[in-house]
A and B are shown apart, each in its own frame.
With several copies, the nearest count.
Chain A
Amino acid sequence: MNAQKITRSLLREAGIGVALLLLSVVFIFFAPNFATFANLRNIFTQISINTVIAIGMTFVILLAGIDLSVGSVLALCAVVAGLIISNPSLPVGVAILLSILSSVAIGMVCGLFNGFVSERWKIASFVVTLGMLNIARGLALEVSHSRTIFMFPKAFTMAGDLTLLGIPFIFLIAVTLVVLAHFILSKTVFGRLIYAIGNNEEAVRLSGHNPMKYKIIAFVICGATVGIAAIMYMMRLQIASPILGVGFELSAIAAVVIGGTSMLGGKGSLIGTFLGACIIGVLNNGLLLIGLGDFARQIITGFIIILAVILDTYRYRLSKALST
């Protein structure tokens, strides 16, 4: 009974996992060095940042919203954090702590702005976050004078290369956040309300809750994950540049949607989002290892994204076929 339930719920959420599996199998055969430990570690590192942003994006999309500003806000967070951390007049420990806090705080403030404005005036979050996309990018360029910031303390950059049992530290952060957020969404009252509002906001309102509050919080959460992602980025690349993050919103939304979350809200899961991010990462990695030309790679990427999601629609049949 219970085992059956778990399988069923896994297949419901993890339909896209089948696509991921198939893709991996193909690459194991055709992409040299794909199935090496070192390469696996690379993939882990490469999907970490997108995964973290996609976590926040999942909250927003579950509420039928969208956040286009994540890439720009990431740049703004990184630039400010970079200026703080590379400030030689601060003690290293203080600088690191302060930069992490300020990055998360800036992300949250931007999220608050997005959430508050779109809820207060009932404006499509597409427009508000499009505005924020411009505002945050402009600010990031202004603050940094469009210079790349570098020379971070060793104690900080070390973290970027840190591994635990061979698993990159930043991937561990990402996985921890996935687990935490999955837990919040599936087990807490807050999480259930997120789903409820995404399902039928009017019904929630009639039941005496204030959907506005939760929607704003979702944007703030999204901002916070962006702030964290900015720090991870800085650990990984040891720079902070105002032009980074262009197009990140598309990757993050893609991870969420490929993972099965409906853009109309109320339906979806974080496990799906994580698998979506994995698909994108594995695809980028595997196709490069196969050694295709740039253009062919781009074309094939397009087809595989579509195929993966088509495959997902056949998961019921597939799950039956696999179980017999």
Chain B
Amino acid sequence: SAQAKKKPVVGLVMKSLANEFFKQMEEGAVAFAKKDGSFELIPVGMNSESDIDTQINAMDNFIAKKVNVIVVAPADSVGMVAAVKRAVDAGIIVVNFDVTLNKEAMKNAGLPADFLFVGVDNAEGAEIVGDHLGKTIGKGGKVFIIEGNPGADNANQRKEGFMRSVKKYNLNVLSSTTAHWETEEANTVVTNLLTKYPSVKGIMCANDSMVLGAVRALDAAGRKDVQVVGFDNILPVQDLIKRGKCLATIDQFGPDLASNGIRAGLRMLKGEKLTGWQKTPLRLVTKADFK
């Protein structure tokens, strides 16, 4: 309708909606758009988490479509910079959320260093949950780190956060291996690592999907003495925490993340000037939360 056409259009570039974390985020954004009603939302997801290509295509398509605001969660902190620059040059307001664009790359592309970013500090989250694990198993405890996709930014940041806890608690990292964010692979990897290092006391998983696999590996091996921590706070992991099979995870308030980004974009559209890192909250989730 003619009225709808006058509403500003917001393009939301997400990561893989197959991941329930991002799906919840998208649903949160859609719900927000419906309630707010002052803008039109076009959400786009990808086929896989490392699918930079589809994201770039989506960006270009949004530019061609001349949307007013693009809110983007980059699949690659460097790879997205050029496309963001194109959008900015085309006069579109761009909000970066979830994964921060690479500072050096931004500088190189001519984007301001204080370019707006809305999101959590992944490293900080990993550190919080890592500290909790450190406290629980004690100084010098033996741990595995189950990493996300090698080369993925949030995977790198979470590992970095874990490593800070490792240092603080003088933990002994027996192995740091990728399971590509996947349940099945995490199950296989942890099963095999348990064979190699039976003395392990803690497992840090870079996301909750991998927690599911790790916990099953411990179950199958009959190990009740190993603590697992994760990241994302998905429902099945909440269940595991309730049942004492998982120690803790990090809630990034996913459903609100994209909406926060959109809100910032709409404010800028009205002429406000927002810059820098607008940190969004994080929360440690443990069994205590379900009492």
Contact indicator A150/B108 (Cβ below 8 Å): yes
**Shortest beta-carbon distance, B281 to chain A, in Å?**
23
Contact indicator B77/A148 (Cβ below 8 Å): yes
Task: Please tell me if B152 contacts chain A, counting CB pairs below 8 Å.
Answer: yes
Task: Please tell me if A202 contacts chain B, counting CB pairs below 8 Å.
Answer: no
Q: Across the interface, which residues of A come within 8 angstroms of B196, CB to CB?
A: 32-33, 288-289, 291
Task: Please tell me if A276 contacts chain B, counting CB pairs below 8 Å.
Answer: no
Q: Across the interface, which residues of A come within 8 angstroms of B102, CB to CB?
A: 148, 150
Instruction: Pick from B54, B65, B81, B175: contact of A33, CB below 8 A.
Output: B65
Q: What is the CA–CA distance of A146 and B78 in the complex, to the nearest angstrom?
A: 13
Instruction: Pick from B63, B104, B150, B187: contact of A236, CB below 8 A.
Output: B187
Task: Please tell me if A237 contacts chain B, counting CB pairs below 8 Å.
Answer: yes
Chain A 52-98 residues near chain B, CB threshold 8 A: none
Question: Which of the segments A101-109, A121-129, A177-185, A241-249 contacts the partner chain?
Answer: A241-249
A157 nearest in chain B by CB position: B82
Contact indicator B79/A241 (Cβ below 8 Å): yes
Chain B 58-105 residues near chain A, CB threshold 8 A: 58, 60-61, 63-65, 76-79, 81-83, 102, 104-105
Contact indicator A239/B212 (Cβ below 8 Å): yes
Q: What is the CA–CA distance of A289 and B195 in the complex, to the nearest angstrom?
A: 8
Q: Across the interface, which residues of A come within 8 angstroms of B42, CB to CB?
A: 291
0 or 1 for each of B197-226: is its CB under 8 Å from A? (1 = yes): 000000000000100110010011100000
**Shortest beta-carbon distance, A63 to chain B, in Å?**
28
Q: Across the interface, which residues of A come within 8 angstroms of B56, CB to CB?
A: 236-237
Contact indicator A244/B48 (Cβ below 8 Å): no
0 or 1 for each of B149-181: is its CB under 8 Å from A? (1 = yes): 111100010000000000000000001011000
Do A294 and B44 form a contact, CB below 8 Å, given A151-B239, A241-B209? yes
Contact indicator A161/B219 (Cβ below 8 Å): yes
Contact indicator A148/B212 (Cβ below 8 Å): yes
Do A141 and B18 form a contact, CB below 8 Å, given A33-B195, A239-B78? yes
Task: Please tell me if B269 contacts chain A, counting CB pairs below 8 Å.
Answer: no
Q: Residue among B108, B196, B213 with the most chain A CB within 10 A? A: B196
Do A288 and B150 form a contact, CB below 8 Å, given A150-B236, A151-B105? no
Q: Across the interface, which residues of B come within 8 angstroms of A237, CB to CB?
A: 52, 56, 79, 82-83, 183-184, 187, 212-213, 216
Q: What is the CA–CA distance of A160 and B104 in the complex, to the nearest angstrom?
A: 20
Instruction: Pick from A36, A137, A238, A294: contact of B45, CB below 8 A.
Output: A294
Contact indicator A246/B48 (Cβ below 8 Å): yes
A147 nearest in chain B by CB position: B20
Do A243 and B151 form a contact, CB below 8 Å, given A161-B220, A288-B44, A288-B193? yes
Chain A 238-294 residues near chain B, CB threshold 8 A: 238-239, 241-244, 246-247, 284-285, 288-289, 291, 294
Q: Tally A-B pairs: CB < 8 A.
A: 183
Q: Across the interface, which residues of B come within 8 angstroms of A41, CB to CB?
A: 64
Contact indicator B183/A146 (Cβ below 8 Å): no
Contact indicator B183/A241 (Cβ below 8 Å): yes
Task: Please tell me if B19 contacts chain A, counting CB pairs below 8 Å.
Answer: yes
How many interface residues does A have (CB within 8 Å)?
A: 40
Q: What is the CA–CA distance of A271 and B190 in the complex, to the nearest angstrom?
A: 29
Contact indicator A288/B239 (Cβ below 8 Å): no
Contact indicator A243/B19 (Cβ below 8 Å): yes
Contact indicator A150/B61 (Cβ below 8 Å): no
**Shortest beta-carbon distance, B134 to chain A, in Å?**
24
Q: Across the interface, which residues of A come within 8 angstroms of B77, CB to CB?
A: 148
Task: Please tell me if A176 contacts chain B, counting CB pairs below 8 Å.
Answer: no
**Shortest beta-carbon distance, A81 to chain B, in Å?**
15
Task: Please tell me if B47 contacts chain A, counting CB pairs below 8 Å.
Answer: yes
Q: What is the CA–CA distance of A108 and B82 in the complex, to the nearest angstrom?
A: 29
Instruction: Pick from B65, B79, B193, B220: contact of A239, CB below 8 A.
Output: B79
Q: Residue among A144, A160, A244, A295 with the most chain B CB within 10 A? A: A244
Task: Please tell me if B38 contacts chain A, counting CB pairs below 8 Å.
Answer: no
A251 nearest in chain B by CB position: B53
Contact indicator B150/A146 (Cβ below 8 Å): yes
Instruction: Pick from B43, B50, B54, B82: contact of A243, CB below 8 A.
Output: B50
29 contacting pairs across A/B (C-beta < 8 A): A33-B65, A38-B195, A38-B221, A42-B57, A42-B64, A45-B220, A46-B188, A145-B23, A146-B17, A146-B23, A148-B212, A151-B104, A151-B108, A157-B82, A160-B220, A161-B220, A237-B52, A237-B183, A238-B212, A239-B81, A241-B76, A243-B19, A243-B151, A243-B182, A244-B182, A284-B192, A289-B196, A294-B45, A294-B178
Which 6 pairs between the two chains have the least Cβ-Cβ distance? A146-B23, A150-B236, A243-B151, A294-B45, A38-B64, A148-B78
